[in-house]
Every structure is written in structure tokens, then in C-alpha cells.
């Protein structure tokens, strides 16, 4: 099997399971409308003035590089250039850092008025910024200044791997010795959900020429790393892990919790785009089997990665359902695949103060499972 990068054909799992094109399109359009232009208690996209906007983390009342970059990816996939440009200008105006050891990176959290809550970056924001910008360049063409999308993407990636060279201050976002993304630049461990080999394959085509080999190696390293980080029986990954794949134990980060859910989604999308690692099919099967069999009726809890179900509610239960479904893009098991996708289809967008993270992953799953999370070349 070849991935969509090679064939140009994107699998529509919803259609395979009998949902109509009209139903699918309506579900996607309704989700976009709710997140971006719904009522005050539904949306979390907020416009500022004539040319900026942000996605609010409604549980923490801030704007994060995670959310802004997710929003940009949502917009480029939906051909929404105006909204994309508003989000990107907010990021460059309020999040991008011009000086200090993190110059060239983006502050991971700011207040809705743009005041920085931190001067530290989070690498998942940078990798999503870069990928969304490359897609924007390929879909809409480069503009002037900050809207020269491909130039901005290349500059971000250059900083990510060259920061701190030649005795200059700062730390790179990828560990040079093993090509693995860090949790934050000055920490020597990683977050399994940050590993996006399907992005790195494309960075290897479009980054600065001298860095392209690095990104090829990073894609290979991240795929191999996930073999170590995901539990051999359940397929579940911890929130944070050491470079050898063993969980980081402080602050309960060794559990299957909020960040972890994205690993299942990432495995699904990587397989859909590149089909480069057959292990991903086995891992997706294990994840779906755990939730359809072991955790059936308890898909709203916290888990140890060995599958122990803890008597603690998950902070983002809709995100679990969405990412389990997205794993279907790699899965073999038709029975569990159908159960996970149908549960997701029948689950509405989340309401309430914690809706931001759940509904971001919900919309990405809708796009991926309908064949609308695409590589723009």
C-alpha cells in the first residue's frame, strides 16, 4: 500500500462505513462554523481589530502556540485565507520573540490581549506553524512580509535545529544527537505526541536545502521512537518520555492523559499520508482493541499505559474518542475500527469551558477520516 503523498488519493473512512457525502460535508462544515463563528459559549476563535485573531484555550483563558497553529492548519485545509492570515499576524505580533535566548521562537502562552505569560516556547507550536505555512504557500502562493509563507516556515525550522550553535545563546528544539523533538528546548526528554514524522517528510522537501537531510533522518528517528514509547500490549503512550521511550514519572506524566491522545491520531495520519511503517497498523489495532474491549464503557477515565483503569475522570474525554477514531486510518481490525469511528460520529462537539482541546482534535479527526486533511504540494 502507498500513502496519499504518492497516490494523491485520500481515504474516506466515513464513506467506507456508509455515511453519505452530504452527511459528511455537513458535519465538517458545522464543526468549522461552531468553532470559528458559533455562539459565545461554543466558539473559541476571536477576531481582534481588522487583521488579527486567536484561538482561546477556554480552560485556561489564554492563547497558545498549540491553538494558533492548529487554527492555521484548520484554515489552510478549509481554504480560509483571511482567517489564516489573522491568526498568523497575531502569532507574529504577540508570540514571536525578537531577543533573548529564545529569539526566533514563539512564546507558548499569551493573554488574549497579547501579553506574554511565558518567554519559553513549546516545540509542537513551531512544527505546526511551519507545516501550516508551507501548505499556505503551496495553496495560495507567497505574499509580502510575514505573508511570505514559505520564507517564514524555513526561518522557523532553521531556528529549531540550529539554535545555540557557534556559542550563541539558546537551545535547539530537536536533540542533535538523536534527531528527536524535545518537550521544551532546554529539557532532555520528549513528548511522544510531538512526534510528527509525516510533517518531517515534507520539511525534508521544503526546508532550507542544507537542512533537508536532517528532516529525513528525523522522520525515521521519530517513527522508530514511537515503537519504544507505545506500550507493547495496549499501544498507549505516556505524556512525556525519555529518549529511550521509558516514561517520565514526575507529576504523573507517565500516564495516558491529555497530550498522549494525539499519538493515536498522529499514527493514523502518518500512515494515511506515507504508509511507511507497518508497525503503525499493529499499534492502532492495539489502541482500538483496548478501548473497545478492556475500557469499554469507561472511555472517560485516566489510564496507566499498561491498561490499568484509574478512578479519575479524564480532562478531555471527547478528545479520546476523536483520536481513537483517527487511528482507524492505520488500523486493520474492521470490527473495532467501525466501533471507534461510529462512536466518534455519534459524539457531538464538546460544550463548556474545556471545549477547546477536545474540539480541535475533533475537527482534525473529521478532516482526516473524511479524506480532507491533505498535503498541499
Name the residues annotated as catalytic.
Answer: 66, 259
- By the 8 A CB rule, do 58 and 357 touch? no
Check if the beta carbon of residue 256 is closer than 8 Å to that of residue 249: no
As given in the structure block, the three cell numbers for residue 14 are: 466515513
CA–CA separation, 129 vs 88, rounded Å? 8
DSSP letter string, 131-149: HHHHHHHHHH---SGGG-H
Length of the chain: 377
DSSP annotation of 246: P
3-state secondary structure string across 94-127? HHECCCCCCCCCECCEECCCCCECCCCCCHHHHH
DSSP 375: -
For residue 363, give the C-alpha cell.
475537527
Sign for the CA dihedral angle at 212, 159, 227, 370 comes to: negative
Which cell goes with 278?
507497518
Q: Tell me how many degrees the CA angle 218-222-227 measures, rounded to the nearest 5.
A: 155
Asked if 194 contacts 183 with a C-beta cutoff of 8 angstroms, the reply is yes
CA distance 280 to 272: 10
Cell of 268: 493514523
Task: Tell the residue number behind the cell numbers 488519493, with chain if given.
Answer: 9
Question: Which whole-number Å values give the CA distances from 188 to 33, 39, 181, in the listed order?
Answer: 40, 42, 10
* Sign of the CA dihedral with 20 first, then 23, 29, and 35 last: negative
Using CA atoms, how far apart are residues 364 and 31, in angstroms rounded to an integer?
10
Amino acid at each position: 500500500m502507498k500513502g496519499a503523498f504518492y497516490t494523491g488519493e485520500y481515504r474516506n473512512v466515513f464513506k467506507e462505513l456508509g455515511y453519505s457525502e452530504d452527511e459528511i460535508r455537513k458535519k465538517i462544515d458545522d464543526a468549522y462554523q461552531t468553532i470559528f463563528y458559533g455562539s459565545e459559549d461554543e466558539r473559541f476563535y476571536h477576531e481582534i481589530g481588522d487583521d488579527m485573531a486567536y484561538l482561546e484555550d477556554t480552560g485556561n483563558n489564554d492563547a497558545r502556540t498549540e491553538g494558533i497553529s492548529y487554527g492555521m492548519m484548520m484554515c489552510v485545509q478549509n481554504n480560509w485565507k483571511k482567517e489564516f492570515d489573522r491568526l498568523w499576524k497575531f502569532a507574529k505580533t504577540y508570540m514571536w520573540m525578537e531577543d533573548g535566548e529564545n529569539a526566533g521562537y514563539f512564546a507558548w502562552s499569551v493573554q488574549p490581549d497579547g501579553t506574554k505569560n511565558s518567554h519559553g516556547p513549546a516545540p509542537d507550536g513551531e512544527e505546526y506553524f511551519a507545516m501550516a505555512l508551507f501548505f499556505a504557500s503551496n495553496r495560495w502562493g507567497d505574499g509580502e512580509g510575514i505573508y511570505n509563507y514559505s520564507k517564514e516556515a524555513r526561518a522557523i525550522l532553521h531556528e529549531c535545529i540550529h539554535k545555540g550553535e557557534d556559542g550563541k545563546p539558546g537551545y535547539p528544539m530537536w536533540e542533535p544527537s538523536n534527531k528527536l523533538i524535545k518537550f521544551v528546548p532546554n529539557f532532555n526528554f520528549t513528548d511522544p505526541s510531538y512526534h510528527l514524522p509525516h510533517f518531517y517528510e515534507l520539511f525534508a522537501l521544503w526546508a532550507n536545502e542544507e537542512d533537508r537531510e536532517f528532516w529525513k533522518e528525523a522522520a525515521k528517528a521519530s517513527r522508530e521512537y514511537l515503537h519504544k514509547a507505545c506500550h507493547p500490549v495496549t499501544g498507549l503512550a505516556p505524556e512525556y518520555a525519555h529518549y529511550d521511550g521509558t516514561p517520565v514519572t514526575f507529576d504523573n506524566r507517565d500516564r495516558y492523559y491529555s497530550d498522549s491522545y494525539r499519538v493515536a491520531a498522529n499514527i493514523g495520519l502518518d500512515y494515511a499520508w506515507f504508509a511507511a511503517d507497518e508497525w503503525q497498523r499493529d499499534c492502532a489495532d492495539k489502541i482500538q482493541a483496548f478501548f473497545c474491549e478492556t475500557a469499554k464503557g469507561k472511555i472517560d477515565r485516566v489510564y496507566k499505559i499498561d491498561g490499568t483503569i484509574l478512578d479519575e475522570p479524564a480532562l478531555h474525554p471527547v478528545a479520546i474518542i476523536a483520536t481513537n477514531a483517527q487511528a482507524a486510518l492505520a488500523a486493520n481490525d474492521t470490527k473495532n475500527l467501525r466501533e471507534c469511528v461510529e462512536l466518534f460520529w455519534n459524539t457531538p462537539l464538546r460544550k463548556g469551558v474545556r471545549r477547546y482541546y477536545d474540539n480541535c482534535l475533533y475537527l482534525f479527526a473529521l478532516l482526516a477520516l473524511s479524506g480532507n486533511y491533505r498535503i498541499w504540494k
